[in-house]
Every structure is written in structure tokens, then in C-alpha cells.
Amino acid sequence: MKIQYLGHSCFKLTESTGTTIITDPYGDIGYDLPENLTADAVTISHDHFDHNNAKAVGGKPLVINKDGFFELPGVEIEGVKSYHDTEEGKLRGDNVIFKFRMDGLDICHLGDIGEECSAELIEMLLPINVLLIPVGGNYTIDAEQAKEYVDRIMPDIVIPMHYKSRHSIIDVDKAQEFLDLFEDDDVDVCHKDVLEFSREDLEDSNTTVILMERTKQR
């Protein structure tokens, strides 16, 4: 399966048969989504402008913005209800975590998770091969809280999202604070916006943090 980073919390996930999913497409955050973006489905973790721009995605995709089980050709999707804050949604509302089963891999997009890491939530999410996790704090968990999620989940691959990047106007921290919590040998600043993974690639691997880079800026 292929992961393309489009910036902020937005990724394009492509299964080997061609089924595509866009996660959390954003509005005006200082740069634009790629033009002519299409998908079979769009997942929306919560209804904030920097995550809910489904109308920017062509192809008449299925829009999924709630918890439950959904299926597309070759892809299984599970939405898990969570919270955008530490007070059960009283401050910022609910958040939907999405798990995708693609090409034998379990990919998890935590959305704007804000609640503390709990054994109950982790048990619902496991297993996870590739974890897409917010690290910028302020509106979500911060670097140290994200590290706790990683330590409890123990995924093969961790891809940070929702952090301060070039041109971004969102008031969050840079990813470096999160990266600094790991050993240098476990971090790959790859300067790429597309990665491909297979089940065989991740067998017997330690957790690796890969910082992807959105290459097209306006």
C-alpha cells in the first residue's frame, strides 16, 4: 500500500488494487490541497475547517465522519469514537479515530485525538502497523503525550502529523520536539511525500518514526 502526505493531517492512502482514501482534507491553513484530488472515500475525524474539506475531493467519494464499520473494494475501515480534549469532548467535541485494513496492514489515523492514553482505548485500536499521530499540541496531544501513545501501541511505523510546518498558519508546535524523544537511529527524516509499505517490509521490525514532507507548496 502507498501513503502520500498532503500536509497537516491529510494523507492519500492507496491500496494495491487502486482503492484510494483521503483523510482529513483541510481548508485554508496557509497552503492548498493538490489540484484535481480524487478518491473513493474521504474520512473526517471531526468537523473543524482544517479537517473537514470533503468538497475539495473529486470522484464522488463516500464521506465517512462517524464511528462504525465500512467496506470498500479491498479495504476495511473502522471508525472509533474518541475525544478532542481531556474532558470527554466538553471543550472541543468528539474525534473519530479511523483504522484501515489495506494489503494486510493495519493503518491508524488518530485524527485530532486529545484525550489521555488509556488501556481501554489502546485495546480497541490494536493491532497497528502504521500509526499516523498528531504531535503539535495545543489542539491535540503534544509531543510527550504522543510518545506515550507510541510506547503503548508499539507500531512498526510512526508518521507524525498536525505539526507546525513551513507556510502553515496553525498554532501548533514543530515536529522536532516529538522526534527528540526517540533515539536517532529510530528516526528517519525522509524529505519524501510518498512511501510504500508491504507486510514483508515490516516483519520483525522495531518502531521507526518517519517524518514525511509535503513537497508541493503554494
Task: List the grid coordinates of 210.
Answer: 518517519
Cβ count within 10 A of residue 116: 12
Alpha-carbon span 41 to 58, nearest angstrom: 10
Q: Is the peptide bond before 127 cis (omega within 30 degrees of 0)?
A: yes
Do residues 125 and 118 make contact, with C-beta atoms less than 8 angstroms apart?
no
Per-residue pLDDT at 204: 67
The domains located in the chain, with CATH, are: 66-211 (3.60.15.10)
Contact predicate 110/100, CB 8 Å = no
DSSP classification of residue 20: E
Strands 130-134 and 68-72: unpaired
Percent of the chain with pLDDT over 70: 98
Asked whether the predicted pLDDT for residue 154 surpasses 80, the reply is: yes
Mean pLDDT (whole number) for 2-10: 96
Q: What is the mean pLDDT of the chain?
A: 94
Confidence of residue 78 (pLDDT cuts 50, 70, 90): very high
CA–CA gap between residue 40 and residue 57 (Å, rounded):
9
Q: Is 159 helix (H, G, I), strand (E, B) or coil?
A: strand
Residue 40 contacts residue 20 (beta carbons within 8 Å): yes
Residue 218: its pLDDT value, please? 41
